Structures are given as C-alpha cells and as structure tokens.
Amino acid sequence: MMMANDIRPEPSAKTGERLLDVKGLTIEIETRNGPATIVDGIDLHVDKGETLGIVGESGCGKSLTMLSMMRLLPNKIKVTKGEANFAGRDLQKMSNSELRKVRGGEVGFIFQDPMTSLNPVMRIGQQLAEPLIYHRGMSKAEARKRAGELLKLVGIPGAEDRLDAYPHELSGGMRQRVMIAIGLACNPQLLIADEPTTALDVTIQAQIVDLVKDLRDKLGMSVVWITHDLALIAGLVDRINVLYAGTVVEDAPVDALFANPSHPYTQGLLASIPKLSDERSARLSSIGGTPPEPGRRPKGCPFAPRCPLVEAICHERVPTLEGLNHDGAHRVACFVAQRKLEAA
Amino acid sequence: MAAQPLMRIENLVKHFHVRLGAFGERAATVHALDDVNFDIFEGETLSLVGESGCGKSTTGFTLLNLHRATEGKVIYQGKNIVELDEKAMRPYRRQLQIVFQDPYSTLNPRMTIGEAVGEPILFHKLATKAELKDRIATLLADVGLPPRFASRYPHELSGGQRQRVAIARALACQPKFIVCDEAISALDVSVQAQIINLLLDLQQKYGLTYLFIAHDLAVVRHISDRVGVMYLGRLAELATREELFEHPLHPYTKALLSAVPEADPVHERSRKRQILQGDVPSPLSPPSGCRFHTRCPIAMDICGKVVPEWREARPGHMVACHAVTEGLPG
C-alpha cells in the first residue's frame, strides 16, 4: 500500500489560453421520424493545463459532444452547426486525414470499457506502438522501446514482459492502464477521459484517478474528464460543466460549484448524493421525473418540467449562461438563479 | 430490530466447477463462497459490500436457494432451506424475493406491466381474478406509478420506472425478505435517490427485511443498519453501520473506505488516501491463509499460513484478521 502524496492544494497552473473552444455546437441524430436534436448549441472551453470535468446523467450528451466533435461517431449522428477550435484550428473544417493526425496524436482518448476499445487479437505492445509509428514516424524498434516505457509510466509491473500479452490476459484495472498508456503515447496536449473508471471497482478506481492526476501534473497536459459522478472528480478537476439535455446549465470553478451550486439541477444532483453526516434512513432529496428524450425537448428551459423553482418564463424562453459574479467565472443558465443574484 | 434472527447463515460454502481451456480440457473450482456465517434480523437492512468477484451476489443467490449450496445451512423459520427441493421450496419462495440490477433483462418484453406484476399474484393464489386489477393498481401505487402503466410494455418505461416495476413484482408476493442485488447500481444519481427513498418507505410500511448487495459505499452507509464486507469469498468484517464506518478494524475495510471519493473538493485535495496495490487474486486459486494477505499493508508471517478466526472483537462487531487484537483475552 502506498500513501498518495500528490496533494494539490492549489488548482493546476492555468495560462488562461484556450486550447479547446467549442461554440454553438449542435448535434443531430437521424431517427425514423426525421432528425432529432441531441445537443443544442453547446458552448464549452478548456484552457491550456486545465482539467475540466463534464458531469451529467445518461443521455445528457456529455460523451456525444466530445466524440462527435472528433468525428468518432457513426454517420447518423452529425454536427449540424457550430465550431470546435482546437489549438486555433476548427476541427469541423478539417478533412478526415487532417483530423486523423489530431486524434491519438495531439488529442488522446481513454474510454470506459477497455475490453471493447482494445483489439483482442493484437498484442499490447503492438497496440501501443501503432500511434507512435503513425504519428511520430518511429521505427518498429523505437516504438517498442517507447511502448515499454509507457507501460512502466502507467505502473504496470513487469512492463517489458507484458508487451507480448493479449488484452484478455490482463485484469480490468491493468487493461485500463494500457488504455491510458495508449492515450498518452504521443504526448497529447489534451486527454479526453470518457468515464474511464465506471466499470472498475472502487479500490482500482482510486488507483486510476491518482495515476491520471500524477501523469497530468508530470506531463502538463489538459484533461477533460467525463463522468456522472460528482464526488469522483471533486479532488481532480479545476472546473466543472454540468450538462442537462445537451446544454451546459452551470459552469464553475470546482470549489465554487460545490460550495455554491446555483442551478436547481446541480443543487438536486448534489443533494441526491448520500452524505457522511446523514442520519440513517433520512430521506434523500431526489429530482422527480426523468430527463427529456432527444427530439422531445420541451420549449423553454429543458429542466423546467422537473424544476422545483419553475416559473412562467421558464416554459417560454431558453435561459443562456450568464456570469454570477463580476469576473464571470461562475456562470449559470437559469432565470431564477440569475434574478436572485441581481436582487442580492 | 428484534433480537430473533429472521435467517441464520451457517458455514455457507459455494464452489462452482468450471472447465477451462479452449476445449474445456481443464477442470477447476471457483471458490465463490467459503465458510460464511451471519444472522439477518427481522426488519433490518443488512448490506454486503466488496469488489467484483468477492461473492456478495453469490451469497444472495445461495441463501435464496437459487444456487445450490455446496455446504452449510441457511435456517429460515426453523428449516434449512438450502436442502429443500424446488417443490418444497415453493412456499418459501413467496416470502423470499429478489430484485436485480437490470430490470430490462428481468422483465419479459412481451408482457405488459400489469401482466408482469399480476403473474406472481395468480401463481401464489394471493388474489382472485376479480380482485387482480385492484391489487395491481395498489402495487403500482405503492411503487409510485399511476394505474395506467398497467397496460404499458417495459420498453415504454425509463430505467427508474422499470426498476419500480421490478420492485412491485417482488412486493406482489407479500414477501418478508428481499435481496436487492445491485438494485440501484445501473440508475442515474437523481433516479437512484428516488428508488432508495422508495425502498425505505416500503420497508417501513410492510416491515420488510433487506439484504442489500452493492458496491457503492455512500449508498450503503445511507441505508444500512449493519454492513458486512466481503473479500474473495469470505466475510472480512461485519458490524453496525456506525461501528463499521467509524471504527473499521480490518485493513481491507480501511482501504475500501479510504478509496471512496467524497463530494467535497477541499477535503478531497488534502486527504491522504491509502491506495491498495494490485488486483484481487483469482478465486480459482485463492491465496492460502487470510485471502487478503497478498495485498495487505500489515501482513505478518502467520497471515499466509492460517485462516484468521471469524470472531467478535467488540460487541456485535465481527472480524477475521490476525492483526486485530481487540477483544482477545489478555
């Protein structure tokens, strides 16, 4: 057992320089009844060196936004409007071959389920070497050497011997470490982690979270961590975007979000997590109802039908993200929250 | 909580015989459950926690006689139910119900919700055909669904609604005891809270006893009276919720609690976590002695050789660990 010493009392050094800037991205899916909007004009950004947490429940579009932006989804899911600038270039305007250079090169990915993301009939070493040969133009021998170093970096015991192993010979936690090693192979500027610990046990989850934290600080990259678990990312990220029905409803620095959640949906999410201090069997506060289905988005604020603070205006108009304090770091898309602040 | 156990589990063992290799040429034994002992008291919620493969679900299945126990006893109403055949088991089946993780795969997609909930009522002859419709409506109301849902099909429902139907189906039998096998694990946080509240309400209304199998310790801490921690087919520790979370004794319990993230960024950034190295060993060849000794930070010589005794270290606080000296004579 080791004690984790990588305590970060201060959020990581941010430059304020935009690495990823998504503006008004709209994503539609082909259905039998015509196209349905799943993500509606989403805005989000990641600064250099920053770790952003994207939180939301199933179907809120959190994975979809990041994956469709990189054109990693089937053809019937399409970006129809908006732009996604990565390091100053619009990903939506890139050709497929240009985008291939970005994927796995400047942008690394870790997915939820390493068993389906790794090729079952290819040795670990080859899978690690592939991006190095493709993006970095390394020779096979160089790539293999680097692959061994990468496995060591992610803490796989007996790294060099494991290069010839197949994915099924590794445990779930080890496979996820291999995924991370592949994601990091080309020293990406941005690592997109899509629920990388959801399938793992809690002690293994803690190992993986600490590993990513450690590597991020060592390599100085930006990270987008997509999850449904607010508690998991509390100690990991600098800033959080809360997604609901394909829109960002709250954007805040991590401490501000937990200390002063302002959107009723964020408040509901936080309140539905059981706390240490709760009495046994105290009723958990829950959010009634379920999120809208894609294509059946209500007019006005998408959260209005479930919102405890709903007012007439919420059914009429869609609120936009507005800064809550003068520096605008804490933003919320809610008429009621915005008005409360004006009154204060 | 009455002092009389509703169910007493004695030396329960479950081994699965499997065949390995591409052509099944190698026989092997999965030690899913070894020498498990505990009582379940009437009206309580007892949770079993642990990582995948620790035997928590196998315990639930075996004590309902859904898996045939390899050895040991499960005493319910004075009878050892794990030796009963299917026919003799039937009256007990009604009282002992189970709710699974994935209600989509447990509900018949071609049966309406009303038919699904009504089926156990007719099977156990708990209502006449004439009374059935009212009974179904009452059950749906109990789980917070409007009566019109009776004519719908599972695919028309959300995950949370389907889980409510699965609970209504278990309730239809008027059970005394329900095993909730990861019953809320697949649900979103906000919906999960709804189902937890529902389970707590129903427990109060009908005096139900729950065996709650879960891996989410925050949820377990919220709903349990007592909590058992399992590791690789054995119980490591069992105590009341307060004892277990405030005074954990077993090093595995301590590591497990330390791995749970809290929804508090300031606390999370400053806390020192004990991170366990390595993975859970294979249940095909579990380590000798204490099964945790290969990952234990305080393992001693004896731990690899002798299985630690399952004993009461503090009042009502059971533990199996050589390093724990509390409650030992001298």
Which residue is it, tokens 């299945």?
Answer: B61
Q: Give the DSSP per-residue string, A235-303.
A: TT-SEEEEEETTEEEEEEEHHHHHHS--SHHHHHHHHTS--TTPPTTPPPP---S-PPPTT-PPSS-TT
Give the dihedral of Cα atoms A214, A218, A221, A222; nearest 10 deg.
30
Q: What does the pLDDT profile of chain B (330 residues) look like in tens digits?
A: 446 799 999 999 999 998 888 788 888 899 999 999 999 999 999 999 998 888 999 999 999 999 999 999 999 999 999 999 999 999 999 999 999 988 778 899 999 999 999 999 999 999 999 999 999 999 999 999 999 999 999 998 988 899 999 999 999 999 999 999 999 888 888 888 899 999 999 999 999 999 999 988 889 999 999 999 999 999 999 999 999 999 999 999 999 999 888 888 988 888 888 888 877 888 888 999 999 999 999 999 999 999 999 999 999 999 999 999 988 886
- Do the Cβ atoms of A290 and B200 come within 8 Å? no
Q: What's the rounded mean pLDDT across residues A29-40?
A: 87
| Predicted local confidence at residue A156, as pLDDT | 85
For B203, what's the count of Cα atoms within 13 Å in the CB-facing half-sphere? Answer: 25
Q: Output b/e per residue, B11-22; b: 16+ Cβ within 10 A.
A: ebbbbeeeeeee
Q: What is the pLDDT of residues A68-120, one digit of tens each?
A: 888 888 888 989 999 999 999 999 999 999 999 999 889 999 988 777 889 99
CB contact under 8 A, A276 and B273: no
Residue A36 has pLDDT above 90, yes or no: no
The predicted pLDDT at position A252 comes to 95
Task: Say how many C-beta atoms besides its own lie within 10 A of residue A166's C-beta.
Answer: 14
Radius of gyration of chain B measured on its C-alpha atoms: 21
- Secondary structure class of A213 (helix, strand, coil): helix
Is the pLDDT score of A277 beyond 60?
A: yes
**The tokens of A96 are what?**
């497929």
* Residue with token string 């970060």: A8
> What is the pLDDT at residue A4?
43
Q: Tell me which chain B residue has its CA closest to the CA of residue A211.
A: B275
- The shortest CB-CB distance from A281 to any of B223, B262, B278 is to B223
Which residue, B181, B257, B262, B237, is CA-closest to A203?
B257
Task: Kindly give the interhelix angle for B159-171 and B129-142, rounded to the nearest 10 degrees.
Answer: 130
The upper half-sphere exposure of residue A279, i.e. CA atoms within 13 Å in the direction of its Cβ, equals: 4
Contact A151, A124 (CB under 8 A): yes
Lookup: tokens for B194: 């709804």
Q: Are A42 and A215 in contact (CB under 8 A)?
A: no
Whether this model's pTM surpasses 0.80: yes
**Statement: residue A217 has pLDDT above 60:** yes
> pLDDT band at residue A15, thresholds of 50, 70 and 90?
low
| Span A176-192, average pLDDT | 92
Mean pLDDT of A9-36: 79
The reported pLDDT for the residue numbered A293 is 77
pLDDT on residue A5? 42
3-state class (DSSP) for residue A127 = helix
As a whole number, mean pLDDT of residues A143-166 equals 89
Residue A255, min C-alpha distance to chain B (Å): 6
Q: Do A201 and B189 touch (CB under 8 A)?
A: no
Which residues touch B12 (CB under 8 Å, ≥6 apart)? B33, B35, B36, B37, B59, B62, B63, B69, B71, B72, B73, B74, B82
* A1, A234, A268 ranked by CB distance to B275: nearest: A1
Contact across the interface for A203 and B273, Cβ inside 8 Å = no
Q: Does B205 touch chain A (CB under 8 A)?
A: no
**Number of Cβ within a 10 Å radius of residue A290:** 19
A307 CB neighbours in chain B (<8 A) are: none
- Which residues have a Cβ under 8 Å from the Cβ of A43 and sit 6 or more positions away? A22, A23, A24, A25, A248, A321
Q: Closest by alpha carbon to A216, among A66, A45, A8, A16?
A: A8
pLDDT on residue A10 = 43
Check CB contact of A228 with chain B, cutoff 8 Å. yes
Instruction: Tell whether A288 is within 8 A of chain B (Cβ).
Output: yes
- Is the Cβ–Cβ distance between B49 and B56 less than 8 Å? yes
Q: How far apart are CA B86 and CA B257, in angstroms?
A: 40
What does the alpha-carbon distance between residue B29 and residue A87 come to, in Å, rounded to a whole number?
Answer: 55
**pLDDT over 80 (residue A281):** no
Q: Phi/psi of residue A88, each to 5°?
A: 85, -5
Dihedral-angle region of residue B98 (phi above 0 means left; psi in -120 to 50 means alpha; beta otherwise): beta
What is the DSSP secondary structure assignment for residue B10, as one 8-state letter? E
Q: Which of A28-37, A40-49, A230-239, B295-304 is predicted least confidently?
A: A28-37
b/e code A252-265 from CB counts within 10 Å (16+ = b): bbbbbbbeebbbbb
